[in-house]
Structure 1
């Protein structure tokens, strides 16, 4: 294809047609994941076999896919594209810039509960997957929670720490026409960060990028810092907080309210070592707000709460040891889709 292609079909915006559809996790701790998902968080869990589990939040066949493997991390993000025209537009953007893109195997699509699935490289080595049609099921949900908010806002959001934040933002601008919702300036344990919040639909943000440029080591081992899902009711969110605590899973941040999207939430540690944020009632950037939205910079992540749960000396040491492994490892970027931005 012509690398300088600029026809109207490619350039037309796909904003509003993109929704976070599912998350793929690789882990050897499937029994812990099943207990964490079903008994603590309150999700519907389908154990397909000893090496594969899927979690449901709604009528979709899959929202979390956990497959046996050593990464203990999120390895792919699945994005639903509303129509074939927007889907083809995204494929053209990727291929025109020389980034390899491959059609998934039928087996991969079936596991994810989707049709027309394509995969290409993403920042920090997280594969980006796009699909058009999700597989739904009439099988009743078997879960403790009463429900989760998905729909036009997608299933939630992903937050990533980055030493290449400009490149990451440019990547999602190029691929999905993301829009900046706002910034937060925060200081966590002496680490000063400016966090960018990007939206691709009515959800206040589907991608959060915490700027750690200049930091020689990535302070966390995992590619993502957290994944967010949204409870349907405040009681659901608070009840799951209590279950996580009672069942002995590690709580990271207590219940609090964010400054920018006003979501009430808590953060706990998944069996794979990245965090899960369970939230309730964030701001929705609907058509009226969208037409007048102006990005704002907020000081601090939280209005109240979100207090860190004390780490032991051994936990701190383990985190430091993991971080040392990234000292000489450059962060993975996809410069062709980020306007050439990367060091």
Structure 2
């Protein structure tokens, strides 16, 4: 049970897939398959998928103007928990829709439900992923998924406590820790939320002190976990050799100890490839504060004042898109610990 007296779904939820809308299919094919090293599959001229493991789809790319993440999928362990989450969402008056059989097939799942999520990112839940019989064709030796899910997603928000409230309401997400960071004179707090043993499946960067959200896209970055340190190093080299922009050099984070780098995707948000983050022991873990994102490294690559000005120019577009936190599921938000 959690403090509200309801049965918790924590531990039965796993970050499962991402849907990206883009027109830059050729660039994404080179980025995902040739640079990062994932398994690539063209479905037709307007649809493309990447795999990390035996699940048919981990990233679904569809043709469209957003150049952004438009939906995230969450693997739920069993039908009882699936129905429990559905009931929670419906009880708050939030509409829930069932995907069509064709949509489910594209995602590599038997069936799924969708409902509104923060920042306009649709949230989808499913219970049964479809395993592919096709052997993986990847430059990487492998990626870590399984019980921890496939990695994490990071977003910026002017209303971070409401984002935390949303994921607590829907998935019983727990606070792992905070990081305080100062960027260009602005003090930011990053909240790391977990739904299972993975250190975090969601990172929320509070930007309330900034005049605008500096990130044009709904997501700041996506993360996948490489199986070996060699996989990280080799993909880092391929990103450079293929001419993709490197956002941050290799470094190690203060809180989850993951060693990683950040590349710029063809759609503009960042893509983190990491290795060996700590795994949370629920019996002993206590949330804590850390000062600074990294122990070492993670320095901006090729950043000049013009790059920074351009970033804020692009970020200004976020002013035209009000930030929706889905108030019915966010409650009053959760105060900072």
Q: TM-score band, normalised by the shorter chain?
A: over 0.9
Q: What is the total number of aligned residue pairs between the two structures? A: 333
Name the residue aligned to 1:264: 259
1:1-343 equivalent positions in 2, closer than 5 A: 11-285=6-280, 289-312=281-304, 314-327=306-319, 329-341=321-333
The alignment partner of 1:276 has SS state of: strand
User: C-alpha displacement at 1:324, in angstroms?
Assistant: 2.1
d(CA) in 2 for partners of 1:134, 1:199: 21
The answer to whether the 8 A contact 1:234-1:280 is kept is: yes
> Which structure 1 segments of 5+ residues have no match?
1-9
The answer to whether the 8 A contact 1:216-1:327 is kept is: no
d(CA) in 2 for partners of 1:46, 1:312: 37
TM-score of the two chains, using structure 2 as the length reference: 0.95
d(CA) in 2 for partners of 1:318, 1:71: 19
d(CA) in 1 for partners of 2:284, 2:166: 25
Deviations 1:64-98 (A, max 9, x none): 00110000000000000000111001001100000
TM-score of the two chains, using structure 1 as the length reference: 0.94
d(CA) in 1 for partners of 2:38, 2:317: 34
d(CA) in 2 for partners of 1:329, 1:152: 35
The answer to whether the 8 A contact 2:165-2:332 is kept is: no
**Structure 1 runs of 4+ with >4 Å offset:** none
